[in-house]
């Protein structure tokens, strides 16, 4: 597509073209962010599947605290994503 000439193209067409390009840029950024989140979720799922790299004989209260911290942050993120009230800390 050729670029509109600002001297001969009506203003409403120029605004529409600018809005279209802006929406395309937003979509590209959105897809990139979604891919970033998908990668983070996959890493977290793999770590969880491996019991956060802790064997049953190694578990101590520091591991419980670490998982509690992770659970709290994930609960905040989940509440934000679903438009819910943030959980109490």
Q: What is the DSSP secondary-structure string of 9-58?
A: S-HHHHHHHHHHHHHHHHHHHHHHHHHHHHHHHHHHHHHHHTGGG--TTT
For 60, the domain range is: 55-89
Return per-residue pLDDT of the chain as tens, 89 residues.
667 776 677 888 889 999 999 999 999 999 999 999 999 999 999 999 999 999 999 999 999 999 999 999 999 999 999 999 977 75
Shared domain for 44 and 14, answered yes or no, is yes
Domain membership flag for residue 74: yes
Average pLDDT across the chain, whole number? 92
Report the pLDDT value the prediction gives residue 40, as an integer from 0 to 100: 98
Nearest in space to 21 (alpha carbons), one of 45, 41, 4, 44: 4
First and final CA of the chain: distance in angstroms?
54
Shared domain for 66 and 84, answered yes or no, is yes
Record the pTM: 0.76
Domain membership flag for residue 22: yes
- Non-local (6+) Cβ contacts of 85 within 8 A are 79
Degrees, nearest 5: CA angle 63-69-70: 90
């Amino acid at each position: 597509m050729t670029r509109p000439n600002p001297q001969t193209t009506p203003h409403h067409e120029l605004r529409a073209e600018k809005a279209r390009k802006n929406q395309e840029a937003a979509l590209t950024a959105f897809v990139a962010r979604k891919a970033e989140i998908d990668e983070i979720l996959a890493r977290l799922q793999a770590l969880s599947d491996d019991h956060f790299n802790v064997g049953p004989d190694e578990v101590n209260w520091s591991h419980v605290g670490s998982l509690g911290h992770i659970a709290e942050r994930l609960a905040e993120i989940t509440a934000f994503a679903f438009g819910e009230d943030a959980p109490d800390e």
